[in-house]
Homo-oligomer: A and B are copies of this chain.
Amino acid sequence: MSYSPLLTDLYQLTMLAGYLEEGMADKPAVFDIFFRHNPFQGGYAVFAGLDTALGYLENLQFTEDDLEYLQGLEIFRPRFIDFLRSFRFRGKVTAPPEGTVVFANEPLVTIEAPLAQAQLVETALLNIINFQTLVATKGARIVHAAVDGTVLEFGLRRAQGPDGGVSEARAAYIGGVRSTSNVLAGKLFGIPVKGTHAHSWIMAFPDELTAFRAYAEVFPDTCILLVDTYDTLKSGIPNAITVAQELRSQGHELVGVRIDSGDLAYLSREGRRMFDEAGFPGVKIVASNELDEYVIESMRSEGGRVDIYGVGTRLATCAGEGGGALGGVYKLVRIGDRPKLKVTSDVAKATLPDRKRLLRAVAPDGSFIQDVLCLADEDIAPGATVYDPSNPLQFVAIPQQARFVEIRGVVMEDGVRTAKSPPSLDEMADRSRDQLTRLPQGCMRFINPHKYKVSISAGLNELRLQLMDEVQRGYK
C-alpha cells in the first residue's frame, strides 16, 4: 500500500507555504509523537504502525496530478508548487520497535528534519501510529482476558472502512491476536486466515442437518459448524453431534461448533457437557457476538467453556473509553538550537522539550521497574535520582542493581530505513507478549490498573522548569 502526500490536513500545506515565505522551511526541527493517557483507561499501550509509517515516509512524493489539484485551489503561489514538486522526506526517525510496551507521555516516534518536511508528515504519521497502537493495545487486552483461549479477529465487516479492517488485522497481530478472517490481510502480512461459515449457508439448504452434512462433506477435516441458526441446544448441537458421529465413522473428527447468539457462557457450558457426554471431548467451542475483554473476562468468571473467541466489532473499532481513538499528538520539541515546550494553564501538562532518550530500568530478574526520560546527551546510570514530570518536587532513586535498557533506536536516516530487511510480525508479537509478562502484574488489570512510573532525569527536569519560566515571563 502506498499513501498519497495529500493524505494530510490542508493546514500543513499552508504552514509549509508560510515557512517557505519566511525563509524557515529548512530550519532543523525536532517533533515527538506521544499520547497523554493510556488507551482504554488501561495500564499500558503496545506500540505499532512503525513499518507502515516508514513506508509512507520513504515513498513520499507529489505527482503532477496532485500539484495540479493544489494549484487549482488558488491559495498557493507557483513558487510553493515548485517546492512541492521536488519535495522528499530526508529526515531522521527514532522509535521503539513495534510490539514494545509503552506508556503515556513517552516520546514514541521522534522526527528530526528540516521544518517543512517534519511538518508535512504530521497528519499521516499520527493517523497510522494512533490507530495501529490503539488496535495492538486492544488486541493485547483481549488476548490477556482470554487466558489460554485462542482469539480470532473477524471485524472487517464492521471496521471503519477497508483499511480500518486491513491495518487493524496487522496491528491486532502485533498485540497477540494471531489469526484473522480477513483474506487480504492474510495475503499482505502473512497472517494465518481462519473461518467457519455463515447463517446463510444453513438457510441455503432445506434444513440444518442437511446443511451441516454438506459442509462436513466438503471440509471433513476443518469443519466448524454454526449451531445457533434455529435453536442452539435443541437443534444446532444435537445435529452437530449427529454429523460428528458420521464424520468419525468415516475416519474424520469434527473440529468445532460456533455459537453466535444467546447467553454464551451458559450455552458453552451446556454445549461442552453435551459433546463430552456424546464422546466428543475434542470438539472445540467457538463463541462470537460483540465480544471484548470485559465480556470475555466475565464469561470466564461464570465458568464459560469457550475454547476460541471470535472477536469482531469491538476489536476492529476499539470500542471503549476514549471513543475509538488514541489521542496521540505531534509536538515541536526543538527548532534550530532552541529546545521548545508547549505550556498550558495546567503546568503538569507542559510538554517535555528537546531531543530525549527513553530508558527502561530493568531488575536483575528481567522485570520492568520504571521508565526514565533524559536529555539526548545526558549521562545517567542506575542510582540516579529521577523526577515526577507532573510534580518537580517529587523524586525517587533508580535502584543500584537495575540496568537501563535503551528503548528506542534510529530507524531511518536521511529518509532511508536503517534496517536491511523488514522486521517480521512474529517478532513484534513475541516482543509484546514477552514485555507484558515483565510488567508489574497490576498494570494488566482492566479496572484501575497500577500506574507504571515514567520519570524524567535531573537534566530534563531542569531544562523544562527553565523553559516554563521563560514562557510565563514572556506573555505576562
Residues of A at the B interface (CB closer than 8 Å) are 3-4, 6-15, 17-19, 21-22, 24, 27, 29, 31, 66, 69-70, 73, 75, 115, 119, 122-124, 126-128, 130-131, 154, 156-168, 181-184, 186-187, 193-201, 203-204, 207-208, 214-215, 217-219, 222, 229-231, 234-235, 261-262, 313-314, 316-320, 323-328, 330-332, 335, 340, 342-345, 471, 474-476
How many copies are assembled?
Answer: 2
Q: Establish whether residues A7 and B181, one from each chain, have CB atoms under 8 Å apart when the complex forms.
A: no
Q: Contacts A7-B166, A183-B9, A230-B471 given; indicate if A195 touches B14 (C-beta within 8 A).
A: yes
* Chain B residues positioned under 8 Å from A161 (CB to CB): 127-128, 131, 160-161, 163-164, 166-168
6 extra interchain contacts, Cβ-Cβ under 8 A, other than A7-B165, A231-B345? A6-B183, A11-B196, A126-B157, A158-B325, A261-B344, A317-B323
* Chain B residues positioned under 8 Å from A27 (CB to CB): 204
* Chain B residues positioned under 8 Å from A201 (CB to CB): 15, 18
Partner of A168, one of B160, B194, B325: B160
Which residue of chain B lies nearest to A230 when distances are taken between CB atoms in the complex? B475
Q: Establish whether residues A11 and B198, one from each chain, have CB atoms under 8 Å apart when the complex forms.
A: yes
Which residue of chain B lies nearest to A239 when distances are taken between CB atoms in the complex? B475
Q: Establish whether residues A21 and B218, one from each chain, have CB atoms under 8 Å apart when the complex forms.
A: yes
Counting chain B CB atoms within 10 Å of each CB, the highest count among A73, A164, A314 belongs to A164
Q: Contacts A197-B15, A344-B261 given; indicate if A164 touches B156 (C-beta within 8 A).
A: no
- 27 inter-chain pairs at a CB distance below 8 angstroms, sorted by A residue, are A8-B183, A9-B183, A11-B181, A11-B195, A11-B196, A15-B201, A18-B215, A18-B218, A19-B204, A21-B218, A22-B214, A119-B198, A123-B156, A127-B158, A127-B165, A159-B160, A161-B164, A161-B167, A199-B331, A200-B330, A230-B343, A231-B345, A262-B345, A313-B327, A317-B317, A319-B323, A323-B324
CA distance A444 to B187 in the complex (A): 44
* Chain B residues positioned under 8 Å from A319 (CB to CB): 323-325
Q: Establish whether residues B184 and A6, one from each chain, have CB atoms under 8 Å apart when the complex forms.
A: yes
CA distance A214 to B332 in the complex (A): 18
Q: Establish whether residues A10 and B194, one from each chain, have CB atoms under 8 Å apart when the complex forms.
A: yes
Which residue of chain B lies nearest to A157 when distances are taken between CB atoms in the complex? B126
Q: Contacts A181-B11, A317-B323 given; indicate if A342 touches B203 (C-beta within 8 A).
A: yes
Partner of A181, one of B9, B19, B317, B326: B9
Counting chain B CB atoms within 10 Å of each CB, the highest count among A24, A323, A335 belongs to A323
CA distance A103 to B234 in the complex (A): 34
* Chain B residues positioned under 8 Å from A4 (CB to CB): 184
* Chain B residues positioned under 8 Å from A24 (CB to CB): 204
How far apart are A293's CB and chain B's nearest CB, in angstroms?
13
Counting chain B CB atoms within 10 Å of each CB, the highest count among A12, A230, A316 belongs to A230
Which residue of chain B lies nearest to A135 when distances are taken between CB atoms in the complex? B160
CA distance A167 to B203 in the complex (A): 33
CA distance A476 to B126 in the complex (A): 56
* Chain B residues positioned under 8 Å from A342 (CB to CB): 199, 203, 229
* Chain B residues positioned under 8 Å from A323 (CB to CB): 313-314, 317, 319-320, 324
CA distance A123 to B185 in the complex (A): 14
Closest 5 CB pairs of A and B: A319-B323, A11-B195, A10-B195, A160-B160, A317-B324
Q: Establish whether residues A10 and B193, one from each chain, have CB atoms under 8 Å apart when the complex forms.
A: yes
How far apart are A94's CB and chain B's nearest CB, in angstroms?
18
* Chain B residues positioned under 8 Å from A313 (CB to CB): 323, 325, 327
Q: Establish whether residues B159 and A127, one from each chain, have CB atoms under 8 Å apart when the complex forms.
A: yes
Q: Establish whether residues A157 and B127, one from each chain, have CB atoms under 8 Å apart when the complex forms.
A: yes
* Chain B residues positioned under 8 Å from A199 (CB to CB): 331-332, 342
How far apart are A435's CB and chain B's nearest CB, in angstroms?
25
CA distance A193 to B218 in the complex (A): 53
CA distance A157 to B454 in the complex (A): 26
Which residue of chain B lies nearest to A13 when distances are taken between CB atoms in the complex? B183
Q: Contacts A195-B11, A261-B344 given; indicate if A218 touches B22 (C-beta within 8 A).
A: yes
How far apart are A17's CB and chain B's nearest CB, in angstroms?
6
CA distance A317 to B317 in the complex (A): 8
Q: Contacts A230-B471, A324-B160, A343-B230 given; indicate if A187 touches B66 (C-beta within 8 A).
A: yes
Q: Establish whether residues B335 and A203, one from each chain, have CB atoms under 8 Å apart when the complex forms.
A: yes
* Chain B residues positioned under 8 Å from A340 (CB to CB): 203
Counting chain B CB atoms within 10 Å of each CB, the highest count among A4, A24, A27, A131 belongs to A131
Q: Establish whether residues A214 and B163, one from each chain, have CB atoms under 8 Å apart when the complex forms.
A: no
Q: Establish whether residues B194 and A332, one from each chain, have CB atoms under 8 Å apart when the complex forms.
A: no
